[in-house]
Amino acid sequence: MSDYPMLISNKLHSFRNFALQIYKNSMSYTKRIFLKYILGTCISCFMALQGHATVRNGADQLEKLLPLLEGKQVSLVVNHTSLCGKTHLLDTLANQVKIVRVFAPEHGFRGDADAGEYIQNGKDTRTGVPILSLYGKNKKPLPSQLTGTDVVVFDIQDVGARFYTYISTLYYVMQACAENQKELIVLDRPNPCDYVDGPIREKAYKSFVGMLPIPLLHGCTLGEMAGMINGEGWLGKGLQCRLQVIRVEGWKHGQPYSLPVKPSPNLPNDLSIALYPSLCPFEGTSVSIGRGTTYPFQVIGSPALKDFFQFQFTPRSLKGFDKHPLHQNQACFGLDLRTEKELPQGFSLKYLLQFYQLYQKQYPDAEKRFFSRSQWFDLLMGTSQVRKDMIQGKTESEIRQAWEKDLQAYRSLREKYLLYE
For residue range 339-384, list pLDDT tens digits in order: 888 777 899 999 999 999 999 999 999 999 999 999 999 999 999 9
Look at residues 21, 12, 69 and name the one whose alpha carbon lies nearest to residue 41. 12
> What percentage of the chain has pLDDT greater than the value 70?
84
Q: 74 falls in which pLDDT band (50, 70, 90)?
A: very high
Written as one string, the DSSP assignment of 236-273 is: STT---EEEEE--BS--TT-----SS-SSTT--SHHHH
Angle, CA 407 vertex, CA 403 and CA 411 arms, to 5°: 180
Instruction: Write down the pLDDT at residue 7.
Output: 37
Average pLDDT of 216-234?
98
Separation CA 196–CA 192 (nearest Å)? 12
Return the ∠ at Cα 27 (arms to 21 and 33), rounded to 5°: 75
Which of 1-5, 50-54, 197-201, 324-328 has the lowest average pLDDT? 1-5
Give pLDDT, residue 101: 96
Measured distance CA(3)–CA(209) in Å, rounded: 46
The average pLDDT across 189-197 equals: 98
pLDDT of residue 195: 98
End-to-end Cα spacing for the chain? 34
Q: Which pLDDT band, with edges at 50, 70 and 90, does 321 fall under?
A: confident
Indicate whether 51 pLDDT > 90: no
User: What's the pLDDT at 107?
Assistant: 58
What is the pLDDT of the chain when averaged over all its residues? 88
Q: CB-based contacts of 297: which residues, under 8 Å, 6+ apart?
A: 266, 267, 272, 273, 275, 276, 279, 280, 289, 290
Residues 6+ apart with CB under 8 A from 85: 13, 60, 92
* Residue 291 near residue 283 (C-beta atoms within 8 A): no
Instruction: Find out whether 97 and 121 touch, Cβ atoms under 8 Å.
Output: no
85 has a pLDDT exceeding 60: yes
**Distance from C-alpha of 188 to C-alpha of 153, rounded to nearest angstrom:** 11
- pLDDT at residue 25, rounded to an integer: 53
What pLDDT sits at residue 341? 81
**Percentage with pLDDT > 90 across the chain:** 77
d(CA 401, CA 147): 49
Confidence at residue 53, expressed as pLDDT on a 0 to 100 scale: 59
**Alpha-carbon distances, residue 164 vs 205, 218, 330, 393, 419 (angstroms):** 15, 11, 27, 28, 21
List, for residues 12-45, the tens digit of each pLDDT value: 444 455 445 544 455 443 344 344 434 544 444 4
Which of 66-80, 336-350, 386-400 is predicted least confidently? 336-350
Architecture field, domain 55-246: 3-Layer(aba) Sandwich (3.40)
Q: Which strands make up the sheet holding 332-336, listed edge to edge?
A: 299-302, 332-336, 312-313
pLDDT of residue 202 exceeding 70: yes
pLDDT computed for residue 21 by the predictor: 53
Of 32 and 391, the structure prediction assigns the larger pLDDT to 391
pLDDT digit string (tens) for 109-152? 754 444 444 456 788 888 889 999 898 789 999 999 999 999 99
Pairing of strands 83-84, 87-88: antiparallel
Rounded mean pLDDT of 78-98? 94
The burial class, CB within 10 Å (0-12 / 13-18 / 19+), for 157 is: buried
Residue boundaries of the structural domains of the chain: 1-54, 55-246, 270-383
Please determine, for residue 172, whether its predicted confidence score (pLDDT) is greater than 90.
Answer: yes
